[in-house]
Amino acid sequence: MNDIDIAGADLNLLKVFEALFEEGSASRAALRLNLTQSAVSAALGRLHELYSEQLFRRTGHGLAPTLLANQLKPVISEALAQVRHSLSMAAPASSAYSGRSVTIGMSDDFEIALGARLIAQVAQRAPQLRLIFRQTHSQIVADALLGRSMDLAITAGGVASRLLSRDLLGEGQYACVVDGSHHPAEQTFDLHWFVRHDHLLISAGGFIGIVDEALAEQGLKRRVGAATTHFAALPYLLTGSTAIATLPLHAAQAITAISHGLRLVACPLPLRRYPVELAWRNSASPDNAVLIVREAIRELVSAERYFVMD
């Protein structure tokens, strides 16, 4: 790649690069930037000239980044973040975050429990700031944060990287959710009941979960009739079923609060607690938008007491 004279470079092209990378489509990037598609296509050509190499290739599904584009993405995102941070420092509070977004990685149990209230809290503090929730899990979250596809992440089990900062939000615990028409309140919810009925497993692999591990320690097994990789479908899968689902307490509370007929039941099987952490990239000059969302998460978790703090 040839040396680039920044004095002759149009830095607005970096915004086009970011939109193209994240949207994967010139038409969607144009909508996002409030430009015509032809203007975005022209900017894409200028980007290729600027870096003396192709950054995106057309596929049957849109635009795919090249290896160079993947290498440039975190650098360009960091540069744009710093520019936006400098503007937010001087802009009036009412309009400082127009067009801005903060991406939060979390699994859907956290999104179910925290999402709506977090949107409301951030809307009060930064009315024009957009939140983007992105599905993640503890095995990939560090790379996603460092690669700048996420600004913040809430994880079960925590993250380990010297390049990331972490804040312990508390410890998660588990509960069971059942259809109350098949499991009335007067029923005895003991371990015998627990292993006697079919279970709905929530697991990435679909075969083994924390419940199976805990039962195995007592020489017991359960019957799993079906498995799913996420929590959002539980109200539909459990309604009318005799099955039992064991899931994080925060998600169980949120699901039973809005699902007619589903009941929350204390889990008769002792299950270990797990740390719930908020993670973000280390930065000498943190983005005000990220700071606002970070503080909103802390206050929300503290006020709602979603997690145990000993």
Would the CATH topology of 97-171+274-304 be identical to that of 174-265? yes
pLDDT of 94 reads 47
What topology is assigned to 174-265 in CATH? D-Maltodextrin-Binding Protein; domain 2 (3.40.190)
Reading the block at residue 2, the tokens are: 């040839």
Tell me the residue ranges of DSSP E strands in the chain: 56-59, 62-65, 101-106, 130-135, 152-156, 164-172, 174-179, 198-202, 223-228, 244-248, 262-265, 274-281
pTM: 0.82
Q: How confident is the model at residue 6 (pLDDT cuts 50, 70, 90)?
A: low
What would the two tokens of residue 215 be? 């039962």
Asked if the model's pLDDT at residue 161 lies above 90, the reply is no
Query: Was domain 97-171+274-304 assigned CATH 3.40.190.10?
Result: yes
pLDDT of residue 1: 47
Is 6-86 CATH 1.10.10.10? yes
* pLDDT in the model for residue 264: 96
Q: For residue range 239-275, list pLDDT tens digits in order.
A: 999 999 999 999 999 999 999 899 999 999 999 999 9
Return the domain boundaries, the chain.
6-86, 97-171+274-304, 174-265
> Closest by alpha carbon to 301, among 277, 274, 273, 272?
277
Average pLDDT of span 214-240:
95
Strand partners, 65: 56
Residue 254: CB atoms within 10 A of its CB come to: 22
- Residue 4 pLDDT: 56
Per-residue model confidence as pLDDT tens digits over 96-121 = 687 788 999 999 999 999 999 999 99
Cα end-to-end span (Å), the chain: 55
| Alpha carbons 160 and 189: distance in angstroms, whole number | 38
